[in-house]
Amino acid sequence: MACTRRKFMKSTAQATFAGTASAGFFLSGCNKKDSSNKVKLGVSGFSADAYRKLIDELGFTDKTGIEVEVVLRPKTTNELLMQMASSIQAGTSPYDILDFEDSIAMSLSRAGWLAPLDDLISQDVWDDFTPALMKMTKDWDQYKGQTFRIHHNFELCYWWYRKDWFDSKGIAVPKTWDDVSAMGKVFTDKAAGIWASEEGLIKNCNLSVYLEWITRQAGGNPYQAGPELQAALRYIHDLMFKHDVMNPSCIQKNYDQQNNDYIADRVAFMRQWPFFYDVTRQHKKWFNEDKVVCGLPPVGPAGAASSTYACGWGWGIPKTAPRYDQACELLKFLISVENSPKLLKYSNWFLNARHSVLNAAGEDGLVKYLKMYLDAGIVTTRPFHSRRYTEAVSKIENIASAYLTNQITLADAMKSTRKKMDLL
């Protein structure tokens, strides 16, 4: 049957109408608000099981009638930032309550996307904070006089070393920067791929962590681009190229590669986050206590009090959370003096410097090291850039990475850093 122009027009019009109607139907579905009553708690994959268990066993739903759904948030800071930016601009949020890290805290709070939490925090909760945790909260969780995040986790940069290697060589662990500089001659064997020390220094917040750590030991804040940063950069460069202490190729390594090198018996000592404690114990054939010992970090020019810093993850509530009231109830439940120490039973992820938590933690495992560091009085807070932290981290990583691969001189690196920080 021939298709006349009239028939063609008619069928085209019908198809257009059908298409428009179905698109409208689809779009109206997209606009529907999430009608589920479950509070969505956004957490990282590695802590999800612990969260599900504790929510279930501590009886939050029984006590409040509010159901909780533990949902996974993106693994990386960048992905989460993108997700939150687009959803908050659209007036909603994929999470009612979120577990997030320092760099996210800086960005979300400065953007004004987090709800103030002060009304949810009772005085007994504040009294439960140790001075170290309180200092960290003031720096990292409060902005313009309001608290926007509560830490559940208090992570230190720990210094790990091979006690068995030091014992077999009959030498003491390095106590100062100068001692560290001498370790290259003792341990490094380039042909065998063994180095006295190694770090994961790839950009995307790995290099900045180490730079912040070393600059703190030098007595400063890298984002102020002062002489302490200069001393830190020179020290790291010397460790790589003058003293053969640190593997120069670690500038493009991530934490997985760094940990693998340690577990493959190629590194004598290094800085790493507390998760390394669990990583090493998963390698049962390789592991023994003398291979992974935590010691006090070598002391830099600023003295022992600035040997390491604390940072951590915590809970916050987006201003656009669809179930805001229920999220507040869940937050109050999680941070209460009664429940906070109970969380530790489910994971080290909830180990922090609250009195109730430390009292309940005992002396085993990581707690031993945390208490050792706190008792030694060597913990300071993580340095930060108040206005544009994420951007400052990226700029300083670019410059440091260029200097540590000999693309620019130290003078150029410092000049460039000052200029970039001034522009922020």
Partner 1 sequence: MHQNKRKAILVFAILVAPVILLRLATAAYPIGQTIWLSMTDTHLFESEHAFVGLDNYRNLFADPEFRSILGFSLVFIVASTLLEIFFGLLIASLLNTKFKGRFLARTINLLPWAIPTIVAAYAFQWLLDDQFGMFSHWISQFTGMRPSVMSSALNARITLILVNVWKNASFMAIIFLAGLQGVPQELYEAARVDGAGPLTRFFKITIPMLMPLLITMGMFFLIWQLTNFDLVYGLTSGGPGTATTIVPLNIFHEGLIFFKFGYASAISVILMVFVAVLGLVGVWQFRRFDY
- Interface residues with partner 1 (CB under 8 A) are 9, 12, 16, 78, 81-82, 85, 89, 107, 110-112, 190-191, 193, 202-204, 247-254, 257, 260-261, 264, 266, 388, 390-391, 394, 397-399, 401-408
Give me the least distance between CB of 207 and partner 1, in Å please: 8
Give me the least distance between CB of 304 and partner 1, in Å please: 32
Give me the least distance between CB of 91 and partner 1, in Å please: 15
Count CA within 13 A, CB hemisphere, residue 375.
7
d(CA 258, CA 207): 12
Residue written as token pair 């290697």:
165
- Which of these, 259, 234, 247, lies nearest to 160 by C-alpha position? 259
Query: Could you tell me where the DSSP H helices lie in 192-274?
Result: 206-217, 227-241, 255-263
**Looking at beta carbons only, is 260 or 381 nearer to partner 1?**
260
Give me the least distance between CB of 23 and partner 1, in Å please: 12
**Looking at beta carbons only, is 319 or 388 nearer to partner 1?**
388
**Looking at beta carbons only, is 142 or 257 nearer to partner 1?**
257
**Looking at beta carbons only, is 215 or 416 nearer to partner 1?**
416
User: 3-state class of 100 per DSSP?
Assistant: strand
Give me the least distance between CB of 254 and partner 1, in Å please: 8
**Looking at beta carbons only, is 234 or 355 nearer to partner 1?**
234
**Looking at beta carbons only, is 96 or 261 nearer to partner 1?**
261
Give me the least distance between CB of 27 and partner 1, in Å please: 14
Give me the least distance between CB of 403 and partner 1, in Å please: 8
Give me the least distance between CB of 388 and partner 1, in Å please: 7
**Looking at beta carbons only, is 130 or 398 nearer to partner 1?**
398
Give me the least distance between CB of 216 and partner 1, in Å please: 23
d(CA 10, CA 316): 56
**Looking at beta carbons only, is 83 or 339 nearer to partner 1?**
83
The DSSP string of 251-301 is GG--HHHHHHHHHTT-EEEEEE-THHHHHHHH-TTT--GGGSEEEPPPB-T
d(CA 19, CA 75): 38
The end-to-end CA distance of the chain, in Å, is 71
| Cross-strand partners of 155 | 311
* The token pair that represents 349 in the structure block: 């992820």
What are the distances in angstroms from CA 199 to CA 151, 182, 184, 213, 273?
26, 18, 15, 12, 11
d(CA 229, CA 353): 29
- Which of these, 308, 98, 262, lies nearest to 165 by C-alpha position? 262
**Looking at beta carbons only, is 120 or 402 nearer to partner 1?**
402
* The token pair that represents 422 in the structure block: 């001034």
